C-alpha cells in the first residue's frame, strides 16, 4: 500500500511543509521560484507513485532523482535569496538528504535485481 511506503510518506510530509514555506515567499517570487520549487516537489512524489506501481521501476526512479536534484537547487536558491531562514533551510536540507538516501537505496535494490535477471537470461536461466 502506498501510504506504507516510507519514501512516499517522507515526500508527502516535505511537500506539506514546503507548501507552508512557499506561501511566505515574496509575491514577486510566488509564480517563479516558489512555483518551480513546488513543481519539483510534485514531480518527485509523482515519480515515487509511478515507481511504486510500475513493474520496471528504473525510469521512474531516474525521474524522481532528477526532481530531487531540482528541488535541492530551488530550495538552496530560496535560502540564498533570504526567502527562507537558516533554520528552515537546514530542515529542508536534512529532509532532502534523507530522501536522497532512501531513493538511492531503492535504485540500488532494483539495479541489482535487474542485473540478476540479465545474467540469468544470458546463461539460459540455469543459475
* 64-98 pLDDT, tens digit each: 999 999 999 999 999 999 999 999 999 999 999 99
Q: How far apart are CA 114 and CA 89, in angstroms?
A: 37
Q: How far apart are CA 49 and CA 60, in angstroms?
A: 9
The rounded radius of gyration (Å) of the Cα atoms in the chain is 17
Q: How far apart are CA 39 and CA 41, in angstroms?
A: 5
For the chain, the domains span: 2-119
4-31: pLDDT as tens digits: 689 999 999 999 999 999 999 999 988 8
Question: Residue 125 contacts by C-beta under 8 Å, 6 or more apart in sequence?
Answer: none
CATH architecture of 2-119: Up-down Bundle (1.20)
Residue that the C-alpha cell 530531487 belongs to: 68
3-state secondary structure at position 32: coil
What pTM did the predictor assign?
0.84
Phi/psi of residue 51, nearest 5 degrees = -60, -40
Within 10 A of 40 (CB to CB), how many other CB atoms are there?
20
Please state, rounded to an integer, the average pLDDT across all residues of the chain: 89
Amino acid at each position: 500500500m502506498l501510504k506504507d511506503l516510507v519514501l512516499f510518506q517522507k515526500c508527502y510530509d516535505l511537500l506539506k511543509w514546503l507548501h507552508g514555506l512557499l506561501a511566505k515567499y515574496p509575491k514577486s517570487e510566488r509564480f517563479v521560484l516558489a512555483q518551480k520549487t513546488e513543481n519539483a516537489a510534485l514531480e518527485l512524489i509523482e515519480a515515487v507513485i509511478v515507481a511504486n506501481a510500475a513493474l520496471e521501476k528504473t525510469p521512474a526512479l531516474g525521474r524522481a532523482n532528477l526532481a530531487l536534484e531540482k528541488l535541492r537547487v530551488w530550495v538552496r536558491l530560496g535560502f540564498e535569496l533570504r526567502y527562507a531562514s537558516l533554520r528552515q533551510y537546514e530542515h529542508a536540507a536534512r529532509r532532502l538528504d534523507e530522501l536522497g538516501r532512501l531513493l538511492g537505496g531503492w535504485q540500488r535494490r532494483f539495479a541489482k535485481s535487474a542485473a540478476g535477471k540479465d545474467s540469468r537470461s544470458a546463461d539460459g536461466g540455469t543459475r
